Amino acid sequence: MGKGFFHVPKAVNEPVKTYAPGSPEREEVLLTYKDLYNSNMEVPLYIGSKEIKTGDTKDIRPPHDHKHQVGTYHIAEKKHIEEAIDEAIKARKKWAKLEWEQRAAIFLKAADLIAGPYRARINAATMIGQSKNIFQAEIDSACELCDFLRFNVEYMAEMYDEQPNSSDGNWNRIEYRPLEGFVYAITPFNFTAISGNLPSSAALMGNVALWKPSASQMLSAQVIMEVFKEAGLPDGVINMVMGDPEMITNTVLDSPDFAGVHFTGSTNVFKGIWGKIGNNINKYKTYPRIVGETGGKDFIVAHPTSNPKQVATAISRGAFEYQGQKCSAASRVYLPESLWPEIQDLLKEDLESFKMGSPEDMSNFINAVIHEGAFDKLAGYIDQAKKDKDAEVVIGGNYDKSEGYFIEPTVIVAKDAHYTTMETELFGPVVTIHVYDDKNYTEEKWRDLLETVDNTSIYGLTGGVFSGDRYMTAIATDMLQNAAGNFYINDKPTGAVVGQQPFGGARGSGTNDKAGSKMNLLRWTSVRLIKETFVPATDYRYPFLGE
Ligand code: NAD
């Protein structure tokens, strides 16, 4: 602690810029886009003070223009991962002792760099590398990342302020120590903000980290490291390593100093990592913290009393923004037969008005899906739905990978509420709708439907109910208690904002440690209680032992 109880600046959500035609931010981001597109960026490994170019490289290509190469990134061998662990542990000596306000200042500065001089660069990198339109890039890589950095500082200060009571003659204090070892952060392709947050939230609490970004997020990962460096993050505190995820993970999990994993990605990968940690448990100096936010099969369920236009808009935005590649994206929808014709017309109108193409053309609402693997998987499910008796493709259904990985926003109607695309996470611009019979509708039938919603998938991430009847809303809120960690009433299930809707789900969707909250930061600390007695006892005898 320094010489004062410092108050941190009040965190407020970073305002979202409009990028309207003629705005200065639009002009700047388009110029930066062109620059980056032709820059042939080379992304090194960041290990300790070194930027290592191993010479073994992979190409970086925009998903919407996969014939064009925008850069390369370097691949680590096992020895580099071992070196990164050594460097992290070396850096820990000074970092874990540094006063909290010094750590806070680094990450507050990083937020201001992103909000200001790096805003266009991090947005353009996200647009090119992850195929996001400017609005999706802005709310993610600029605003949400700033929010994570600033709110985490505020939460850390609040947490440090939480102290135990003391009784006469002694003073109890709690110290929020960093974990004894290093934290391994593994991040997904779909949110630049998550990539920045997973290593930095642990580092803010005094930990050192190895960060393994997704191979499909390398451009914006590089910008994040540039920002951390410029903000003054000491060498070795966050080490960025890329390469074979299995090799990197096995090497990391073999280290006795492994103290925790901060993961976001798919469910099966997380379960595999959990299993390996379990098998290695006797190797570690400390019980590792295991934090993972994973897949989802997020729902919208509409009661017959809901408003068709509101439901249609929630599907258009909730299922298709960023091509449905949000863990929170609506992908299974339950609609009453009486409202379906109107909702279908509205949905068709919306989807037919979506333009699809490169994010550089700002009139495009939809861009490409992340890579060929995702494209082929989605095309396969669409083809199967076209063949299956139980399903019908009612909107969209076309795809083309000749230039970029473009999948037309697609709506499948499934007769069977357990049809495969009602249950499996597809992670793309495909939504499946089950239309239920609402003739002579009763509370009992609503309860049966909610039971189906609750039991249909292994996940429990997000979901929304639309209803104009408060009793029916209340029943859904109660019956779907465990179906979603983020539950929405009369709203789409996407778009959680740091400081407002802490995010995470349970069941197969993760450990629900709520990214962007104090609950998450607590996982990166190990509390030490210090009791100090001012005038210690000098006689063991208690009064009850008296004559
Ligand atoms: P992914 O699981 O393919 O990859 C995530 C990370 O894990 C990447 O860095 C990847 O390289 C790494 N990885 C892959 N195989 C590995 C292995 N065998 N061992 C160790 N690491 C490995 O996920 P993705 O495609 O990048 O992201 C999409 C998934 O992430 C979806 O399932 C989505 O629902 C989920 N997601 C969840 C949240 C949430 O908050 N719940 C947020 C974003 C994304």
pLDDT tens string 490-517: 999 999 999 999 999 999 999 999 999 9
The answer to whether 149 touches 501, Cβ cutoff 8 Å, is no
How far apart are alpha carbons 106 and 238 in whole angstroms?
A: 13
Q: What is the mean pLDDT of residues 92-113?
A: 98
Decide if 536 is inside a domain: no
169: left (phi over 0), alpha (psi -120 to 50) or beta: left
User: Which of 192, 220, 327 has the most ligand 1 atoms within 8 A of CB, as the residue to mutate?
Assistant: 327
Q: What is the pLDDT of residue 263?
A: 98
Q: Is 257 in the pocket of ligand 1 (CB under 6 A)?
A: no
Rounded to the nearest whole angstrom, what is the distance from the C-alpha of residue 295 to the centroid of ligand 1? 8
Q: Is 130 in the pocket of ligand 1 (CB under 6 A)?
A: no
How far apart are alpha carbons 526 and 178 in whole angstroms?
A: 6
Decide if 17 is inside a domain: no
User: 210 φ, ψ to 5°?
Assistant: -105, 130
Q: What is the mean pLDDT of residues 407-429?
A: 98
Predicted confidence (pLDDT) per residue in 226-281, tens digit: 999 999 999 999 999 999 999 999 999 999 999 999 999 999 999 999 999 999 99
Tell the residue nearest (CA) to atom 37 of ligand 1.
294
Given a cut of 90, whether residue 107 has pLDDT beyond it is yes
The answer to whether 370 touches 218, Cβ cutoff 8 Å, is no
Nearest to 512 by CA among 543, 473, 486: 486
Co-location of 238 and 320 in the same domain: no
Co-location of 515 and 412 in the same domain: no
Q: Is 509 in the pocket of ligand 1 (CB under 6 A)?
A: yes
User: Which of 140, 144, 190 has the most ligand 1 atoms within 8 A of CB, as the residue to mutate?
Assistant: 190
Co-location of 219 and 321 in the same domain: no
Decide if 268 is inside a domain: yes
Q: Which atom of ligand 1 is nearest to the CA of 248?
A: 20
How far apart are alpha carbons 253 and 280 in whole angstroms?
A: 7
Q: Is 265 in the pocket of ligand 1 (CB under 6 A)?
A: yes
Decide if 394 is inside a domain: yes
Co-location of 390 and 448 in the same domain: yes
Confidence of residue 89 (pLDDT cuts 50, 70, 90): very high
User: 310 φ, ψ to 5°?
Assistant: -65, -40
Co-location of 285 and 410 in the same domain: no
Predicted confidence (pLDDT) per residue in 335-375, tens digit: 999 999 999 999 999 999 999 999 999 999 999 999 999 99
Contacts of 159 (CB under 8 A, 6+ apart): 176, 518, 521, 522, 525
Predicted confidence (pLDDT) per residue in 450-484, tens digit: 999 999 999 999 999 999 999 999 999 999 999 99
What is the Rg, in whole angstroms, of the alpha carbon atoms belonging to the chain? 25
Q: Is 485 in the pocket of ligand 1 (CB under 6 A)?
A: no
What residues form DSSP beta bridges with 35?
A: none
Tell the residue nearest (CA) to atom 13 of ligand 1.
245
Q: Is 381 in the pocket of ligand 1 (CB under 6 A)?
A: no
Q: Which helix (H) or strand (E) segment is 478 a member of?
A: helix 470-479
DSSP 434-501: EEE--TT--HHHHHHHHHHHHHS-SEESEEEEE-S-HHHHHHHHHHTTTT-SEEEESS-S----TTTS
Decide if 158 is inside a domain: yes
Decide if 112 is inside a domain: yes
Co-location of 164 and 237 in the same domain: yes
Given a cut of 90, whether residue 291 has pLDDT beyond it is yes
DSSP 336: E
Given a cut of 90, whether residue 2 has pLDDT beyond it is no
Given a cut of 80, whether residue 183 has pLDDT beyond it is yes
Residue with structure tokens 């976001």? 264
Co-location of 337 and 434 in the same domain: yes
Q: Please tell me the total count of domains within the chain.
A: 2
Q: How many residues does the chain have?
A: 547
Q: Is 206 in the pocket of ligand 1 (CB under 6 A)?
A: no
Co-location of 278 and 323 in the same domain: no
- The domain of 101 spans 29-294+510-530
Q: Which atom of ligand 1 is nearest to the CA of 268?
A: 2
How far apart are alpha carbons 516 and 498 in whole angstroms?
A: 5
Rounded to the nearest whole angstrom, what is the distance from the C-alpha of residue 212 to the centroid of ligand 1? 11
Q: Is 186 in the pocket of ligand 1 (CB under 6 A)?
A: yes
What's the CATH number where 466 sits? 3.40.309.10
Q: What is the pLDDT of residue 1?
A: 55
Contacts of 14 (CB under 8 A, 6+ apart): 111, 115, 142, 143, 146, 147, 150
Summary count for the chain: helices (H), strands (E): 17, 23
Q: Is 188 in the pocket of ligand 1 (CB under 6 A)?
A: yes
Q: Which atom of ligand 1 is nearest to the CA of 189?
A: 26
Decide if 7 is inside a domain: no
Q: What is the mean pLDDT of residues 97-107?
A: 98
Catalytic machinery residues: 293, 327
Rounded to the nearest whole angstrom, what is the distance from the C-alpha of residue 21 to the centroid of ligand 1? 35
Tell the residue nearest (CA) to atom 28 of ligand 1.
265
Q: Is 189 in the pocket of ligand 1 (CB under 6 A)?
A: yes
User: Which of 264, 277, 497 has the most ligand 1 atoms within 8 A of CB, as the residue to mutate?
Assistant: 264
What amino acid occupies position 351? L
The answer to whether 98 touches 220, Cβ cutoff 8 Å, is no
What's the CATH number where 199 sits? 3.40.605.10
Q: What is the mean pLDDT of residues 384-408?
A: 98
Co-location of 514 and 445 in the same domain: no
Decide if 201 is inside a domain: yes
Co-location of 319 and 255 in the same domain: no
3-state secondary structure (DSSP) of residue 179: coil
Q: What is the pLDDT of residue 477?
A: 98
Co-location of 206 and 341 in the same domain: no
Rounded to the nearest whole angstrom, what is the distance from the C-alpha of residue 517 to the centroid of ligand 1? 21
Co-location of 377 and 311 in the same domain: yes
Confidence of residue 325 (pLDDT cuts 50, 70, 90): very high
Given a cut of 90, whether residue 547 has pLDDT beyond it is no
Q: What is the pLDDT of residue 147?
A: 98
Rounded to the nearest whole angstrom, what is the distance from the C-alpha of residue 523 to the centroid of ligand 1? 20
Rounded to the nearest whole angstrom, what is the distance from the C-alpha of residue 243 to the centroid of ligand 1? 14
Q: What is the mean pLDDT of residues 64-90?
A: 98
Q: What angle do CA 139, 141, 146 make, to 5 degrees?
A: 85
Structure tokens at 188: 């997904």
Nearest to 177 by CA among 289, 252, 280: 289
